Amino acid sequence: MNHTDTDPLVAEFTQRGARYYSAEFDRLSAKSGPSFSFNPMAALTGPVWLGARALWGAFWPAFLVALASVVLLAIAVFGDPGRDDRARADRLEMQSAERLTAAEAAIAAGDPLGEGMKRSAEGLAQAADNARAAAEAAQSRTLGLGLAGATGLALVHLAVGFSATPLLNRRFRRWRGDHRIAHGLPPARIIFATVLVLGGYVVSGLRFATPAPPAWLTSFPASATIYNESARWLDGAFRATAQGLGGLFNGISAGINTILGLLEIALVATPWPIVMAAVLTIAWQCAGRRVAVFSAAALAYLAFFGFWEKSMATVALLGTAAFLCVVAGLPLGIWAGRDSRVLNAMRPVLDLMQTMPAFVYLIPVIAFFGIGKPPGIIATIIFGMPPVIRLTALGIASVPENIREAATAFGATRRFLLFRVDLPMAKPSIMAGINQTLLMCLSMVVIASLIGARGLGEDVLSALQYAAVGKGILAGLAILACAMVIDRIVQGQGSKNEHR
């Protein structure tokens, strides 16, 4: 193409400067090796040009470096780096003069403390001299700050000038395959990029370079009244909910206590040789000889260090929480795996459950259920349920559609598809979700102990309170032993099923 011609696609993409960009794009495409192109307008406007052209991946690094450079320039031109040290020097000189006057009066009166007060005044004077020297040194660094800021800003604009056209050419090639990609120079984007860049420069300069920046820059104008009223409203809402649904919450606690009581009878009240033999047998059958030997060593550690009863109580808490997670999570995961709309509706809730700090769960749980083991189990369920839902949905959604179609063609019912096709093929993913849920439930034992869940978490919490490092490490190793035994058994069962 002649450089005087304009490619219609380039004209549609760039909207402005089409002839220039047609020639530059042709030149860049004609060279197989590295090629350079300098865009004067991009170099002049810098990050604004990148934002106006929707090159946000390059805009943010350039804008942040330019912003730091502008701050250095503003400090050098308008700032006063030695202000704090000079104020300190003036304050010390005043104190030294007052102390010296008092010392001279004491010496004249024959007070033996006069000499000590005089030496103290001399020390304050020396400190004032040091502060003033530090202020002068800080002031002398303004030239270096200004040079650094100017150099950084120039380098940013030069880098934008050299990289602008190649970046735009790369975006043009992508746009030719997908016209939904942002292109052109719409006025709204130009205004937004300009206001963002210049506003950032001005606000940052005011914040770091002025002696007394505006209050709205140093602290957000929060409202204590709104905060207090919101807190009072939430307190009233939680109290009203707890009173109105007290029967429901008591019923949930009673159900959890029933499951927990059965597990505690099986694990805590049953003689330890029976429990240990059962665990080792399950480990041997599910995961093999090595896991059985490892489980024996872990259980021996728990027994010899006196953690057996608390470990079994912890496993009972974990088992109750994990059982309820699986009972509720598997159907939800199957439902979400079969219907993408359900998964999209669940995803924000699952994200909230996994990303919210675990301590936050304890606040509403205590408000509705009080303290004790059931609230600890409920907080653990909230934290541990998302993995089994997500991985079950992933496993169900990953079953090949042609297998379902083949089963349907042979007359399979929805029940047959679920139990004979979907669940067997999704079993590795489901087992991974169950494994992750178990381990996440176990990771909550220390936090749950804060509201009376007890178990091994109580020992770790006590060690933290009294800085008992040795006891804390031993209790932590006991939790680790429980986690590793459970993990090895579940992973071994999953590997055996997958091998089959």
- Domain extents for the chain? 8-79+143-218, 83-140, 248-499
- Confidence class of residue 313 from pLDDT cuts 50, 70 and 90? confident
Of 28, 42, 35, 36, nearest to 156 by C-alpha is: 42
pLDDT in tens, 249-307: 888 888 888 888 888 888 888 888 898 899 899 888 887 888 889 989 999 998 888 88
Residues 233-259: pLDDT tens digits?
988 888 888 888 888 888 888 888 888
CATH 1.10.3720.10 fits 248-499, yes or no: yes
- In this model, does residue 34 exceed pLDDT 70? no
Burial 119-135 (b: 16+ CB within 10 A, else e): ebbeebbebbeebbebb
Of the chain, the end-to-end C-alpha distance in Å amounts to: 64
Residue 105: predicted pLDDT: 81
User: What pLDDT is attached to residue 3?
Assistant: 45
pLDDT value of position 379: 86
Q: List Cβ neighbours of 169 (8 Å cut-off, separation of 6 or more).
A: 24, 25, 28, 29
What H or E segment, with its residue span, contains residue 452?
A: none
Percentage of the chain modeled with pLDDT above 70: 95
pLDDT band (50, 70, 90) for residue 55: very high
Residue 154: is its pLDDT beyond 70?
Answer: yes
| CA–CA separation, 178 and 391 (whole Å) | 33
The CA-atom distances, in angstroms, between 257 and each of 250, 261, 267, 321 are 10, 6, 15, 11
pLDDT for the residue numbered 468: 83
Structure tokens that stand for 17 in this block: 């400067």
Q: Do 471 and 463 meet the contact criterion of CB atoms below 8 Å apart? A: yes
* pLDDT tops 90 at residue 65: yes
Q: State yes or no: pLDDT of 13 exceeds 50.
A: yes
pLDDT beyond 90 at 155: yes
pLDDT value for 2: 44
Kindly report the average pLDDT of the chain as a whole number. 85
Which residue type sits at 282? I
According to the model, what pLDDT value does residue 5 have? 58
Which pLDDT score, from 0 to 100, does residue 470 have? 87
Separation between Cα atoms, residue 377 and residue 454, nearest integer Å: 11
d(CA 76, CA 148): 10
Residue 181 CB: number of other CB atoms within 10 A?
A: 13
Chain centroid to Cα 446, Å, comes to: 21
341 has a pLDDT exceeding 50: yes
Q: What is the DSSP letter of 219?
A: S
pLDDT higher than 80, residue 81: no
Q: Quick check: 95 and 56 in contact, CB under 8 A?
A: no
Average the pLDDT over 400-412 and give the result: 84
Please indicate whether residue 495 or residue 261 has the higher confidence score (pLDDT).
261
